[in-house]
Structure 1
Amino acid sequence: MLEFSRTGLFGTSAEVIARAAGVTQPYIFRLFGSKTKLFVECVRISFAQSTARMLDAAEGLSGVNALVAMGNQYRSNLENNPDVLIQGQAFAACANEEVREAVREAYGSQWRQLAEQAGVEPVQMKVYMALGLLLNDLTVIDAKSSASADEQWVHDAYTVIDSSVFAALGTLSNVER
């Protein structure tokens, strides 16, 4: 997963993966059939792990409180996390139909599980997921690097969203949605 998180499906050779795992290249192909299938399995594991961490953080909570707990957990786990990086690589590799289907499945499963835990309105869930993808983007571009860390937009982009934003979204009428 670490190798794929660094250079993606198309930039990572099976030889590099085998070396990092301490196995032979033929063994990888015997286990997974192809590098793409191994990548897809890594993507599925990545989404499952990040979903499990967020669900654990929100255990016993619901509504906006669950979203805030899941969001705080997600934010705390962004730095140097291969899950975030491999998910970014997965979105980038969606030109491959096999990858696209796996990402769609994993993302949909994550959405459903988190929404079920929180029990929130669809518009609240949409904003929650959109903010998560913003954090992914900021992580992938290393926005906190020394070159841009002092820029106002970086500070603004990382500002924690107040729970009242999610609560207010739940009060929108169907017309406003």
Structure 2
Amino acid sequence: MVRMSADERRESVIRAAMSEFARGGYEGTSTEAIARRVGVSQPYLFRLFPNKQAIFLAASRYCIEGTRRLFEEAADGVAPDEKLGSMAVAYQRMIHEDPDRLLMQMQTYVAVASAEASGDKAFGEAVRESWLALWDTVQLEFAADVDETTTFLAYGMLVNTLVALGFPAGHRVWEGFYETARPE
């Protein structure tokens, strides 16, 4: 049996946490479930992370950073007028193939709103910092065009909502999308 390094174990915990939080949300997910999924004890989990919120934040950042890298890779070497389509198709594929990514995004928005409603502004600031890196990546691909960046991300949020609501690919709600925005 090959032993994992602390960094590998930490990433394993983050991936497991993302799946658990995606399904159960912040409040509905126990650190015990995350530890069990990874095959470690809860005390070990808390040697890697100071508390549950830190685990959730790491999972949120992992999710957002994965999307940011996906956009960057999808646009790499693509003609400027094809970047939007390439990034949209890559994103659609990701949320269909790995629904936990979409669910984790949704849970992150809920957790930020809940934390801020209870006075915890630091959590929201940390998530917004990750999301701004995503924004900057998209804006860079669109040559700093704010309107294109806003439109692209707005369509993405609409796609998130429609997919989360379970609308199938052929449903009329997808009519009117530019061709690459339709789910496969």
TM-score range, shorter chain: 0.7 to 0.9
**One-letter amino acid matched to 1:47:** I
SS of the residue aligned with 1:78?
Answer: helix
1:120 offset after TM fit, Å?
4.8
Q: Which runs of 5+ in 1 are unaligned?
A: 164-177
Residue 109 (structure 1) aligns with? 133
CA contact (8 A) 1:47 1:110 kept: yes
CA contact (8 A) 2:142 2:148 kept: no
Q: What aligned pairs does 1:1-177 form with structure 2 within 5 A after superposition?
A: 1-61=18-78, 63-79=80-96, 80-94=98-112, 95-96=114-115, 97-144=121-168, 151-153=171-173, 155-156=174-175, 160-162=177-179
Paired residues, what number? 156
TM-score by length of 1: 0.79
**One-letter amino acid matched to 2:130:** A
Distance in 2 between residues matched to 1:109 and 1:77, nearest whole Å: 19
Cα distance per residue 1:60-112 (max 9 Å; x no partner): 23533212211111111111332221111000111213432222111111010
> Which structure 1 residue ranges, 4+ long, deviate > 3 Å from structure 2?
none
Q: Which runs of 5+ in 2 are unaligned?
A: 1-17, 116-120
TM-score by length of 2: 0.77
- RMSD over aligned CA atoms reads 2.0
Distance in 2 between residues matched to 1:137 and 1:82, nearest whole Å: 14
Give the % identical residues.
Answer: 29
Specify which structure has the higher proportion of helix: 2
